[in-house]
């Protein structure tokens, strides 16, 4: 019958959603498209929505909506209708549970069979978000559209039971049926098409949202893992994927060591200020030396696991890396830094310090020359003339690379011996001051790294606003870790 | 630095040492000169220790065990002496065992190396 067909076609886009389609709602088609819907056809019985009557109402276009009996609108005007196209509530429903078409079978005559099938589905799926439809009956077009979009968003909260299905079906049989003209048919077909397209767009959008959500959670997990590995520590290294497990472990241990370093330094500070006895201060100084012994121990394992991580200084901050020598600080540089600040020294102490500086320099020079020979040997191997056996060449090169570990270990050994010798030359108080100076020096160097990274790029700022954002982000990121050292 | 050995049967051999026990050879060779280094010509750390002594103005006696026909035995003996699978380079001063690179460096830093060198007559200031 005409009536039902109208209902079908019109309601193809606006059929009631099934139970499990929670965020699609029953927005009357008329409401969506600003058609007038006769109030009388909105039944007042409970939450159920009478579709049959609405079908008729759609065709009867001249009927005005009456406001007085309308339920108050759920939503205020002014909400963006932008999402409406994306979330047409009606379209999806017709795909839901196909029900028996017994009822509508005999009633549809005019349009194609496809329409009939659809109609049967929509008729039987009278899961009403009917309160909504009732409420929209009195709204003007904008409000209706707004509410439609909001209703799509609010989901099942509006969903009422389909309890009234049976009585509705019965009622449908009693509605009057009108003739459909070609114009109406065409319009309804167009609407159907538009609704279908909206449906597809919506589906695509939702899928995109879902995949983005998954990606986001994955990124968050990676970030969490990287943070726990002390990744941001040196403001260093590439992405998380580029860091070896040995390197990651060492970075983590090193960040913990830095925290301990802070503790030791404050102990030294309070010990000095409190004018503790020499024996008490000696305990603190010795514990600080043990603290350094620990990092050298950790570096032994790290050199075995990932020597390049150590020797390229990826575990340090950029400014420290600038002064890097064979995977760490250069002992003679450290002594040079200390010499002027360790006053007053006895003559014997001065000689001891200068002698230490001298022997340290000689040892550094010897190791550097040894490493240079290793480099040259490696160049010869890899460059190597006519390559008869590439794998053999690589194997030889790998064997030579293995010597790197030994050099980093000897360099760390030199660093450790230098610190021990310092504590032997100096008195307890001098040693306490000395180690405090060392800790503060490297702390300042680390701070310099983060300040450098977050410095405002004046020349760029004047031209390009976006650069400003970048530097601000940079400021947020490293300063947290570097300033924590203080 | 000079490389010890007589030209004998077409290649360098340590003198007066045919057929002796490797450990004995080690001890003998170590006590013959003020500063004795057992080394491998291809080893970079050996090169570093040689550079260290040369940089100090010392003239060590170097035995390249990879160029000695019985070098492998000496190396094994040194392995046992040091309890280390990688015994080279190893340094003797005044016939006394100093050790591998780390011990040499440690003794230089803590100031004991130079007096030993002076004592052995390898260094004059």
List the beta strands (DSSP E) in B6-111: 6-8, 11-13, 35-39, 61-64, 90-93, 96-99
What DSSP string describes A56-89?
HHHH-TTPPPPSTTSPPPSS-TT---TTTTT--T
**Nearest C-alpha of chain B: how many angstroms from A417?**
6
Task: Assess whether pLDDT exceeds 80 at residue A206.
Answer: yes
pLDDT of residue B19: 56
Quick: pLDDT tens for A378-428: 999 988 767 777 888 889 999 999 999 999 999 999 999 999 999 999 999
| Residue A145 pLDDT grade (very low, low, confident, very high; cuts 50, 70, 90) | very low
What DSSP string describes A376-395?
HHHHHHHH-SS-S-HHHHHH
Would you say A246 and A308 are in contact if contact means Cβ atoms under 8 Å apart? no
pLDDT of residue A221: 84
A401 against A17, higher pLDDT? A401
Give the domain ranges of chain A: 245-452
Q: Do A417 and B106 touch (CB under 8 A)?
A: yes
Quick: pLDDT tens for B75-114: 999 999 999 888 899 999 999 999 999 999 999 999 999 9
Q: For the ranges A189-203, A292-306, A376-390, A448-462, which has the lowest average pLDDT?
A: A448-462
> In this complex, is the C-beta atom of B37 within 8 Å of any C-beta atom belonging to chain A?
no
> In this complex, is the C-beta atom of B1 within 8 Å of any C-beta atom belonging to chain A?
no
> In this complex, is the C-beta atom of A374 within 8 Å of any C-beta atom belonging to chain B?
yes
Residue B27 region by backbone torsions, left for phi larger than 0, else alpha for psi between -120 and 50, else beta = alpha
Asked if residue A344 has a cis previous peptide bond (ω within 30° of 0), the answer is yes
Which residue bears the tokens 């004018």? A275
Residues of B in contact with A414 (CB under 8 A): 105, 109
Angstrom distance (rounded) from CA A40 to CA A33: 19
Give the mean pLDDT of chain B.
87
Chain A residue whose CA is closest to B56: A362
- Ordered strands of the B2-3 beta sheet: B2-3, B61-64, B35-39, B90-93, B96-99
pLDDT of residue A126: 43
Task: Assess whether pLDDT exceeds 90 at residue A224.
Answer: no
> Average pLDDT of B65-84?
92
HSE at residue A386, side-chain half, CA atoms within 13 A, is: 1
Q: Where are the alpha helices (DSSP H) in A90-232?
A: 102-105, 113-124, 130-136, 141-154, 165-172, 182-228
- pTM equals 0.57
Residues of A in contact with B52 (CB under 8 A): 362-363, 365-366
| Residue A56 pLDDT grade (very low, low, confident, very high; cuts 50, 70, 90) | low
Residues of B in contact with A401 (CB under 8 A): none
Give the mean pLDDT of chain A.
72
Would you say B43 and B88 are in contact if contact means Cβ atoms under 8 Å apart? yes
What residues contact A351, with CB distance under 8 A and at least 6 apart? none
> In this complex, is the C-beta atom of A414 within 8 Å of any C-beta atom belonging to chain B?
yes
pLDDT of residue A81: 47
Angstrom distance (rounded) from CA A284 to CA A433: 11
Would you say A295 and A441 are in contact if contact means Cβ atoms under 8 Å apart? no
Cβ neighbours of A204 (radius 10 Å):
11
Cβ neighbours of A385 (radius 10 Å):
6
The domains of chain B, with CATH numbers, are 22-120 (3.40.30.10)
Angstrom distance (rounded) from CA A92 to CA A100: 18
| Residue B124 pLDDT grade (very low, low, confident, very high; cuts 50, 70, 90) | confident
Q: What are phi and psi of A331, to 5 degrees?
A: -60, -40
The pair of structure tokens assigned to A58 is 């759609």
pLDDT of residue B111: 95
Quick: pLDDT tens for A1-14: 444 444 444 444 44
Quick: pLDDT tens for B4-58: 554 444 455 555 545 578 899 999 999 999 999 999 999 999 999 999 999 999 9
Angstrom distance (rounded) from CA B52 to CA A102: 102
pLDDT of residue A244: 81
Quick: pLDDT tens for A300-329: 999 999 999 999 999 999 999 999 999 999
Task: Assess whether pLDDT exceeds 90 at residue A152.
Answer: no
A264 against A458, higher pLDDT? A264
Q: Per DSSP, what are the bridge partners of residue A325? A: A328
């Amino acid at each position: 019958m005409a009536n039902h067909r109208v209902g079908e076609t019109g309601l193809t886009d606006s059929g009631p959603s099934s139970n499990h389609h929670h965020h699609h709602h029953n927005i009357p088609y008329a409401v969506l498209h600003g058609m007038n819907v006769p109030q009388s056809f909105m039944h007042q019985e409970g939450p159920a929505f009478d579709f049959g009557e609405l079908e008729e109402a759609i065709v009867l276009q001249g009927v005005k909506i009456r406001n007085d009996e309308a339920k108050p609108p759920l939503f205020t005007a002014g909400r963006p209708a932008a999402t409406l196209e994306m979330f047409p509530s009606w379209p999806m429903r017709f795909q839901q549970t196909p029900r028996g078409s017994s009822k509508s079978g005999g009633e549809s005559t005019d349009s194609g069979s496809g329409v009939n099938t659809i109609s049967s589905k929509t008729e039987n799926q009278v899961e009403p978000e009917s309160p909504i439809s009732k409420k929209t009956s009195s709204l003007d077009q904008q409000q209706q559209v707004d509410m439609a979009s909001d209703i799509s968003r609010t989901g099942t909260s509006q969903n009422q039971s389909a309890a009234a299905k049976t009585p509705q079906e019965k009622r449908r049989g009693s509605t009057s049926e009108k003739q459909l003209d070609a114009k109406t048919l065409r319009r309804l077909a167009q609407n159907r098409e538009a609704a279908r397209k909206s449906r597809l767009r919506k589906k695509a959008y939702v899928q995109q949202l879902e995949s983005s959500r998954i990606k986001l959670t994955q990124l968050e997990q990676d970030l969490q893992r990287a943070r726990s590995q002390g990744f941001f520590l040196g403001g260093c290294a590439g992405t998380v994927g580029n860091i070896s497990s040995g390197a990651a472990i060492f970075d983590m241990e090193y960040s913990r060591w830095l925290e301990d370093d802070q503790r030791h330094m404050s102990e030294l500070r309070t010990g000095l200020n409190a004018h503790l006895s020499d024996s008490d201060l000696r305990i603190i100084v010795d514990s600080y030396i043990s603290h350094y012994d620990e990092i050298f121990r950790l570096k032994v394992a790290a050199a075995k696991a990932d020597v390049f991580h150590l020797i390229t200084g990826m575990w340090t901050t950029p400014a420290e890396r600038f002064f890097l020598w064979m995977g760490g600080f250069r002992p003679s540089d450290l002594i040079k830094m200390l010499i002027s600040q360790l006053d007053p020294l006895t003559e014997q102490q001065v000689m001891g310090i200068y002698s230490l500086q001298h022997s340290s320099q000689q040892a550094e020079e010897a190791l550097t020359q040894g490493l240079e020979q290793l480099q040259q040997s490696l160049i010869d191997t890899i460059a190597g003339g006519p390559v008869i056996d590439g794998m053999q060449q690589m194997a030889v090169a790998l064997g030579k690379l293995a010597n790197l570990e030994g050099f980093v270990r000897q360099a760390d050994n030199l660093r450790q011996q230098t610190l021990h010798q310092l504590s032997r030359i100096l008195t307890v108080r001098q040693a306490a001051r000395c180690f405090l100076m060392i800790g503060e020096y490297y702390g300042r160097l680390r701070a310099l790294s983060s300040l450098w990274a977050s410095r405002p790029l004046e020349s760029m700022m004047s031209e390009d606003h976006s650069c400003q954002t970048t530097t601000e982000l940079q400021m947020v990121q490293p300063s947290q870790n570097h300033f924590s050292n203080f | 630095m000079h490389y010890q050995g007589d030209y004998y049967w077409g290649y360098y051999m340590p003198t007066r040492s045919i057929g002796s026990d490797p450990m004995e050879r080690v001890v003998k060779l170590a006590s013959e000169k003020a500063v004795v280094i057992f080394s491998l010509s291809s080893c970079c750390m050996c090169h570093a220790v040689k550079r260290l002594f040369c940089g100090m103005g010392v003239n060590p006696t170097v035995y390249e065990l990879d160029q000695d026909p019985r070098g492998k035995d000496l190396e094994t003996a040194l392995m046992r002496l040091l309890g280390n699978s990688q015994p080279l380079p190893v340094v003797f001063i005044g016939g006394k065992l100093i050790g591998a690179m780390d011990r040499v460096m440690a003794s230089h830093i803590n100031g004991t190396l130079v007096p030993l060198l002076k004592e052995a007559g390898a260094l004059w200031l």
